[in-house]
Amino acid sequence: MSRIDARFVELAARERTGLIPFFTAGDPSPEAVVPVMHALVEAGADLIELGVPFSDPMADGPVIQHASERALAKGVGLARIFDWVREFRLRDTATPVVLMGYMNPVEIHGAARFAADAVAAGVDGVLLVDCPVEEIAAAAPLRDAGLAQIFLAAPTTTGERLARVCAAARGFLYYVSFAGITGADRLSTGDVRERVAAIRRQASTPVAVGFGVRDAASAAAIGEFADAVVIGSALVERLAGAAHADEAAERARAFLSPIRAALDRRT
C-alpha cells in the first residue's frame, strides 16, 4: 500500500480528520524547508504538500505568487526540492509528501525523468494544477512510476466529468471549495458540505478540501465532513519573513497546533 493510502486508512481507523499543510519550497528560505516539514509533522500534519515554485502560477493568489517569486529569486528548482525531500525522509518515512505545481517544469525536466527522480527522493504524489483529467496522458509517466496523481474537483465539476475525475484520482481527491484562486476569502461551508457529500458518494479515494481554509475555526467547520483539510496561503503568509530556519519551524508549529487541536476536539 502506498504511503498516502496507508495514511488515510490509519486516519479513518482513528476517526481523525486529516490535516494537510501546504507551503512553497524555498520560502521563507531554502534552509528552512526541512525543519518546517518536521515541525509541521510534530504539530499534527498528516501529509505535506510542497509547492514547486513556478514563474507563472496562473491559479494562485498573491500570497503564493509572491512566495514563488521569492523562492525563484533564491534559485530554487526541482533538483534542490528532491534533495530536501530526501533529507526529510532520513527522519520521517511515514508522512506522505505531495509536490504541487505546474506542468512546465515537469515537461522541461521530462515527465519520465521527473517521475524517477521524485520516487527516488521519497515523493508520494504529484498535483499538477494545470493538468486536468483531459490532459492525463501528459502525466502518464508519473503514474507508471508509482506516483499518485492527485486531481482537483471544483464546484463546476459535475456529472460525467466528475465521474471521470473520481475514476482517475489516486491518493485523494482535492476539492477546491470555490471558483477562484488560492487564498481568496469566499468560503461558504454550507455549499461545500453538500458538494463534498455528493463527491464522496462517487469517489473511491478520500476527499480533501482546500482553498479558503485560513484558521482553526474554518478548518474545524470543513473537518466536520471532509476526510482532510488543506491549508496553504495562511501558512505561507505566517512563514514569510522568518529570519532563520528555527524561527520558521517555530512559526509553522505555532500556526498548525491550534488547527490540529480544533480538528481533534470534534472527534
Partner 1 sequence: MQRIEDYSMYPDARGRFGDYGGSFVAETLIAPLAELDAAYRRLRTDTAFIAEFERDLKYYVGRPSPIYHAERLSREVGGAQILLKREDLNHTGAHKINNTIGQALVARHMGKRRIIAETGAGQHGVATATVCARFGLGCVVYMGATDIERQKINVYRMKLLGAEVVPVTSGSKTLKDALNEAMRDWVTNVADTFYIIGTVAGPHPYPQMVRDFNAVVGREARAQMLEQYGRLPDVITACVGGGSNAIGLFHAFLNDRDVRIVGAEAAGEGIATGHHAASLAAGRPGVLHGNRTYVLCDDDGQITETHSVSAGLDYPGVGPEHAFLKDSGRADYVGVTDDEALAAFHRLARSEGILAALESSHAVAQAIKLARELPHDRLVLCNLSGRGDKDVHTIAAREGISL
26 touches partner 1 by CB under 8 A = no
As a whole number of angstroms, the distance between CA 85 and CA 48 comes to 11
**Near partner 1 by CB under 8 A: residue from 57, 206, 223, 232:** 57
- Considering only residues 168-207, where is the footprint of partner 1 by CB under 8 A? 176, 179-181, 184
Residue with cell 520521517: 92
As a whole number of angstroms, the distance between CA 240 and CA 14 comes to 33
Annotated catalytic residue 246? no
- Considering only residues 110-129, where is the footprint of partner 1 by CB under 8 A? 129
Burial 216-226 (b: 16+ CB within 10 A, else e): bebbbbbbebb
For 23, the 3-state DSSP assignment is strand
User: What's the min distance (Å) between Cβ of 220 and partner 1?
Assistant: 25
**Near partner 1 by CB under 8 A: residue from 119, 136, 138, 168:** 138
- Considering only residues 213-232, where is the footprint of partner 1 by CB under 8 A? none
Residue with cell 526541482: 78
| Residue 114 · residue 89 · CB < 8 Å | no
Catalytic residue among 15, 27, 46, 60: 60
As a whole number of angstroms, the distance between CA 80 and CA 71 comes to 11
As a whole number of angstroms, the distance between CA 60 and CA 129 comes to 10
Residue with cell 518536521: 38
User: What's the min distance (Å) between Cβ of 151 and partner 1?
Assistant: 7
**Near partner 1 by CB under 8 A: residue from 6, 12, 94, 108:** 108
**Near partner 1 by CB under 8 A: residue from 42, 83, 92, 107:** 107
Annotated catalytic residue 124? no
**Near partner 1 by CB under 8 A: residue from 74, 143, 161, 238:** 161
Catalytic residue among 27, 46, 49, 227: 49
The neighbour count for residue 190, using CB atoms within 10 Å, is: 8
Mark the segment that binds partner 1 (CB under 8 A) among 40-48, 60-68, 86-94, 225-233: 60-68
User: What's the min distance (Å) between Cβ of 108 and partner 1?
Assistant: 4
Whether cis (ω within 30° of 0) applies to the bond prior to 28 is: yes
CB hemisphere CA count around 9 (13 angstroms): 7
Looking at the annotation, which residues are catalytic? 49, 60
Residue ranges that bind partner 1, judged by CB under 8 A: 54-59, 61-62, 65-66, 69, 72, 77-79, 102-109, 129-132, 134-135, 138, 151-158, 161, 165, 176, 179-181, 184
